[in-house]
Structure formats: structure tokens, C-alpha cells
């Protein structure tokens, strides 16, 4: 069972908490635990059992789909204080596609197991609304991901991705490999490599093993 401070933190991110009756709060408290996942660990896939709902405390998760030829298409990424509901997709009606969830880095989270969440979801409309609201919000990210793949040229997609990564950090360096970038934007490593080389030739960035340094952010913005 979580201590008082942990429970307070968790309650602020599950906004249905105040709508639970005493019995439901007891179910919640007795079925939520702290979990840790190492970088690269696969939490959820089409072959795994339904996990439950996750609240990320530190680290990050990547939610993606896998094509028949093994290509990964990132749907969205989750950061500290984000809630992951698709890890409990087995109880959400009309969610019929298989998603995979990996730890992007060493991650700590709070997991409300699927049994407890399913029970609360079925008997409390506020829990049900929370689940569907979160899912709808994330599907906005999914639509954005597919819009980029379908309608934007690859140089624009890569430029948008690099700028987003810059905005998450306080430096001009992005510590990602070409393989990682390819997975995040749904492309092949060879395509990423060629475009990064083109950006480098234009004086936009410099590459080193496992990292990219943006040398001209304005030029990068002009590509969008």
C-alpha cells in the first residue's frame, strides 16, 4: 500500500478520486503499487495480459504499433505525471488494434491493476469518463502522428521532431541514435541517416555517435 504522500500525489492525477465512495477508495488504495521498468522493457504487447492503468512518476513510455514487416510507428510518448490508459485497453470497448508500450528510459510508475480498474470502471461513471476522456485526448496525438506520416514530406517530419526534442531539453544537443529517431517517426534508419546528412550539409546540425547538436535552429524552423 502507498504511503500518505504517495497517495496524495496519485489522487491529484486521477481526477475521479473525489467521486469514489469509501468502498471504492479502499479498492483503489489496496490495488495500486509502485513499479519500476528498465529502459527498453516491453510493458504491454498483443501477446501480454492486460496490465492496468499507469501513472508515470519518472522516466517515460513510448506507445507504438507494429506493422507486418516489423516497422514500428510511434503513436505518442508519455512523460512524468502522464496517465497511460491503453495499458488497460482490454476493458475499453471498440479498442480493437494492438498497441505496444516500451520504457524509453528507466521508469518509475504507479500501477492500478486491471482487476481493480475494471471493477471501478464498471460501477463508477466518473472512472469510466476518466478512461474515455484520456483515450480521446491520446487519439488526438495518434491522428497527429498519422497526419505527419501521410501528408508531410519527410524533411518536414524530421524537422518537427528535432524541434520538439529541443523544446524538451535545456541544451542544443539531442541524445538519440538514428535507430531511435526512425522508430519515433515511423521510418527506416537509412532514410533518417540520409536526411540528417543533408541537414548537416546545410549547416543545420552536427552529428556524433548517439547524439545530434543543432547548430542553426532558425534554418531548422524554416524547413517546416
Domain co-membership, 17 together with 69: yes
Last residue of a domain, one of 150, 166, 195: 150
The β-bridge partners of 149 are none
- In sign, the C-alpha dihedral spanning 52, 55, 59, 62 is positive
Among 150, 178, 196, where does a domain finish?
150
34-66: per-residue pLDDT in tens?
A: 999 999 999 988 777 789 999 999 999 999 988
Residues 130, 44 share a domain: yes
Range of the domain at 156: 152-222
Facing residues of 44 across strands?
101
pTM reported for the whole predicted model: 0.79
Closest-CA residue to 1 (of 32, 23, 26): 32
Determine phi and psi for 63, rounding to 5 degrees.
-105, 125
pLDDT in tens, 191-219: 999 999 999 999 999 999 889 999 999 99
Residues of the chain with pLDDT > 70: what percent? 98
How many residues make up the chain in this entry?
224
What is the number of structural domains in the chain? 2
The contacts of residue 68 (CB under 8 Å, 6+ apart) are none
Amino acid at each position: 500500500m502507498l504511503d500518505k504522500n504517495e497517495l496524495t500525489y496519485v489522487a491529484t492525477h486521477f481526477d475521479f478520486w473525489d467521486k469514489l465512495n469509501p468502498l471504492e477508495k479502499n479498492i483503489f488504495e489496496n490495488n495500486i503499487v509502485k513499479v519500476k521498468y528498465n529502459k527498453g522493457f516491453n510493458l504491454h504487447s498483443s501477446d501480454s495480459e492486460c496490465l492496468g492503468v499507469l501513472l508515470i512518476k519518472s522516466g517515460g513510455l513510448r506507445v507504438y504499433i507494429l506493422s507486418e514487416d516489423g516497422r514500428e510507428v510511434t503513436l505518442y510518448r508519455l512523460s512524468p505525471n502522464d496517465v497511460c490508459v491503453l495499458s488497460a485497453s482490454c476493458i475499453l470497448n471498440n479498442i480493437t488494434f494492438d498497441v505496444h508500450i516500451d520504457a524509453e528510459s528507466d521508469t518509475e510508475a504507479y500501477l492500478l491493476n486491471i482487476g481493480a480498474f475494471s471493477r471501478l470502471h464498471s460501477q463508477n461513471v466518473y472512472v469510466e469518463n476518466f478512461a474515455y476522456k484520456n483515450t480521446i485526448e491520446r487519439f488526438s496525438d495518434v491522428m497527429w502522428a498519422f497526419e505527419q506520416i501521410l501528408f508531410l514530406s519527410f524533411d518536414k517530419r524530421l524537422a518537427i521532431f528535432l524541434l520538439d526534442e529541443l523544446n524538451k531539453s535545456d541544451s542544443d544537443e539531442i541524445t538519440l541514435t538514428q535507430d531511435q529517431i526512425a522508430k519515433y517517426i515511423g521510418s527506416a534508419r537509412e532514410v533518417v541517416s540520409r536526411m540528417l546528412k543533408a541537414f548537416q550539409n546545410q549547416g543545420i546540425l552536427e552529428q556524433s555517435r548517439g547524439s545530434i547538436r543543432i547548430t542553426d535552429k532558425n534554418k531548422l524552423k524554416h524547413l517546416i
